[in-house]
Structure 1
Amino acid sequence: MGEKKIWILNHYATVALEQRGGRHYWMAKELVKKGYQPVVFCANTVHNSDCSAEQKEKYVLKKQDDITFVIVKSTPYKGNGISRIRNILSFYRNVKNVAGKYAKLDGKPYAILASSVHPLACVAGIQLGKKIKCPCIAEIRDLWPKELIDMGALKETHPVAKILYSLEKWIYCKADAVVFTMEGGKKYIADQKWDKANGGNIDLNKIFYINNGVDIKEFEENAQKYPSMDEDLNDGKHFNFVYTGSIRRTNNIDTLVDAAKELKNNNIQVLLWGAGDYVETIQKRIEAEKITNVKYKGVVKKCEVPGILKKSDVNIIHWNDMDTLKYGCSYNKMFEYLAAGRPIYSTVHVGYSIIKDGHCGMEASGRTAKDYASDMQKYYEMSEEEKIKLGNNSKQKVKEFDFGVLTQKLVTIIENLQK
């Protein structure tokens, strides 16, 4: 095959390097198996933390599992204020400079995959692709600015929103291909009237869908290697709803706590694992209100999560409903939940629902704590046969989202761009 280098631009892939996992880490491992040479460009700052690796050089090279990481020096940041904007801008500037120097040392890439946790990563990738004459695939993981507007962080009429919409449209126009992690990407573009059928200039034939997923083999290995010894999961006395993920104000964990308080059944309990700036608030609330059927269990290593999920009765997907979810979702935990082979309960209502499509569980009957409590009771009363069937459906559905399958979709796009 020769040296087919695939550059992956992901500002926040430093976390993947530390955890030896995540979308681009697993994709990169699969690319290696297929004979490609992945090179991941990321910042020296760690997303959702105050940490950053001390780094005097403009970039540092690290290699792990045959994946090369180019760690680009960027300004430190904390929270979502001005310092984060500076960090985004510094990565955008510096990654272009570093990538140009790296190309002189290691040769130009076969293709670039530029991933948008923020849109400037895509802009940098498109500009680099044009400069060094190789195709760039823009990967859209969040709909900026629509998600910011839905969350109330930005008004639709604000000048910044208009600038971000223009930038978003520019990315879709200029990229050689666009990959959405949500299935309704084409519909989103059509709804914006940016596609050719609606008088725009975006060709929907270059729009693709590759969701997030899981390395099934690694998941199963970790489940066996690190079985959960948690007392609540092993005592057989309770019916456990398990949530693993971020515990931040925006995750609205209070509604789950409210639902637990509504329950009249003492055999049902909600177990929470995760980190975030809202953990202490939840802990204080549980203690102050003497809530006995919600327990915060702490933080575990990523490799220990499969052992927890496999011992739950039901795994919970939970965050705020937003209008953008009508285009689908790419919630990372969903794929671990599918791999666990347990029924899933989603409080979120999404378009292109993987859970509904695969008959892997149920979505909430409503949007209140009382609705959630009622649904939990229904799960408790469900026959063992029904629950086993939902779990088996989950294990079947997850095969579509193994990273071997997902990476092959990416390879097909890359190779078609070379024709």
Structure 2
Amino acid sequence: MSPRVWIVNQFANTPDVPGHIRQYELGQFLAKQGCQVNVFASDYNLTQRQYLKLKFPQLWHLENFEGLQWNWLYAVPYQVNNWRRYVNMVSFCLTLFLIGLLKPKPDLIIGSSPQLLAAFTAWILAKLRGATFYFEVRDLWPQVLIELGGKSPNSLIVRVLAGIEGLLYRESDRIIVLASGLVDYISKRGAVEVIWLPNGPDVEQFQVELPIEQAKAQYHIDLKRICLMYTGAHGTANSLQTIVEAARILDQSYPDRFQILLVGDGPEKAQLIEQAAGIQCLEFRPPIPKAEIPKLLKAADGLILTLKDIPLFRYGVSPNKLYDAYAAGKPVVVAVGGTLNQEVEVHQVGFTAEPENAKGLTQAMIQLAQTPPEEREAMGKRGQALVSSTYSRTKVAEKLWALIQEEL
């Protein structure tokens, strides 16, 4: 009998909408191995801040998407990261629990953070339905609330989430982490088995035969300028203010030399646009479907990744946008610090700066612009080799399937 696998992640997406598609790609691979795969995600799209499938008063929409049973679930909407965000999370869990009780019994449930309450609800369903449970740690909650959100470690919400976190570490049949730096962290907190399965792209999707000149023309980018691009969420964690301030410096020192694009959406976008008033080399563009990202990246001379300067991000992140840049064969400019900066430097795939350091980021951008095109191309090829050896989504999926076969 085909294994029934449920994948739960509130923020999972299909490739036709903006956002990460790890659950879609892993689910696709498992379905091709003969698994019956259900994905459970919120219909309220985090990037676009709107419902995509549901019409009031629907709680659930089931879509057969390329062999996957995709369950779009209701969650209360929110626009900014205030108390409504927590209502959104709890409402998703309630819908998940109700629908999870009605569907046929699964053999394995994979509960994925950063929404820790959703992973906890998935664990409860696994216990009630007699299923194996894997906990996938994408972001380290509640630590991120302390370091990024400024919450006190003694606050009620942090203590509740810390209790749930510890329970999931101890009670899950396996823990999957995306950042290698989390293996030791979680093992010391009672986890029986911790497996590193990083983020990474589907390499085949990035095999786009599109010369940079044609790509720039298609996306209305000046051929004479160095185009540096950021694609993804515009939130507090992403520290895009650093890019804005670096662009201001470049605008004054190197007029008409750079074209910097911030592509995406999020709660900080309006504030960023206001901050960037008068900067000529900086342009904000709306989010695009994930399926179009490989083509868009071909128009860039380099790709940017910035994050806030907090200890967690120095060892505990595995950003899709960085590995997409590698797969696209583009050099990178990374201002994160820790393991990510080290990786870029060791493998010679781009330039680095310390996080939230606009002057340092500016210097890294200038270094990339002054690098001869043939060396930038060599950096891109080294990034592609790194994807093939370490971050290929196919290799990650094969490791996950081997775990499932061993378990079931």
TM-score, length-normalised on structure 1?
0.86
C-alpha displacement of 1:19? 5.5
C-alpha displacement of 1:55? 4.6
C-alpha displacement of 1:114? 0.8
Q: Distance in 2 between matches of 1:78 and 1:314?
A: 31
Q: Distance in 2 between matches of 1:215 and 1:177?
A: 24
- 5 Å matches for 1:254-269? 254-263=241-250, 264-266=253-255, 267-269=257-259
- Residues 246 and 88 of structure 1: CA distance in aligned 2, closer, same or farther (over 3 Å): closer
The aligned amino acid for 2:358 is: A
- In structure 2, what is the equivalent of residue 174 of structure 1? 171
The partner residue of 2:393 within 403, 406, 410 is 403
**8 Å Cα contact 1:274-1:298 kept in structure 2:** yes
- 5 Å matches for 1:94-109? 94-103=95-104, 108-109=105-106
- In structure 2, what is the equivalent of residue 213 of structure 1? 200
- In structure 1, what is the equivalent of residue 27 of structure 2? 28
- Are residue 126 (structure 1) and residue 123 (structure 2) matched? yes
Q: Distance in 1 between matches of 2:81 and 2:282?
A: 30
Q: Distance in 2 between matches of 1:54 and 1:243?
A: 33
Q: 1:341-400: per-residue Cα shift (whole Å, max 9, x none)?
A: 011110111326543453321221575222122222222222334322211101111223
**8 Å Cα contact 2:307-2:355 kept in structure 1:** no
- In structure 2, what is the equivalent of residue 197 of structure 1? none
Q: Secondary structure at the match of 2:224?
A: coil
The aligned amino acid for 2:110 is: L
- In structure 2, what is the equivalent of residue 82 of structure 1? 83
- Residues 223 and 380 of structure 1: CA distance in aligned 2, closer, same or farther (over 3 Å): closer
The root-mean-square deviation of aligned C-alpha atoms, in Å, is 2.6
- Residues 403 and 384 of structure 1: CA distance in aligned 2, closer, same or farther (over 3 Å): same
C-alpha displacement of 1:413? 1.8
C-alpha displacement of 1:61? 1.7
Number of residue pairs the alignment of both structures matches:
399
Identity %: 24
The aligned amino acid for 1:152 is: G
* Unaligned residue ranges in structure 1 (runs of 5+): 195-200
Q: Distance in 1 between matches of 2:18 and 2:377?
A: 31
Q: Distance in 1 between matches of 2:167 and 2:44?
A: 27
- In structure 2, what is the equivalent of residue 113 of structure 1? 110
C-alpha displacement of 1:64? 0.9
C-alpha displacement of 1:317? 0.7
Q: 1:8-27: per-residue Cα shift (whole Å, max 9, x none)?
A: 11222356674597110111
**8 Å Cα contact 1:49-1:78 kept in structure 2:** no
* Unaligned residue ranges in structure 2 (runs of 5+): none
C-alpha displacement of 1:171? 0.4
The partner residue of 2:379 within 377, 390, 407 is 390
The partner residue of 1:187 within 165, 178, 184 is 184
- Residues 222 and 176 of structure 1: CA distance in aligned 2, closer, same or farther (over 3 Å): farther
- Are residue 350 (structure 1) and residue 347 (structure 2) matched? no
Q: 1:85-138: per-residue Cα shift (whole Å, max 9, x none)?
A: 2332232233223222111xxxx2221111112112221222222222221101
Higher radius of gyration, 1 or 2: 1
- Residues 392 and 178 of structure 1: CA distance in aligned 2, closer, same or farther (over 3 Å): same
Q: Secondary structure at the match of 1:336?
A: helix
**8 Å Cα contact 1:341-1:391 kept in structure 2:** yes
TM-score, length-normalised on structure 2?
0.88
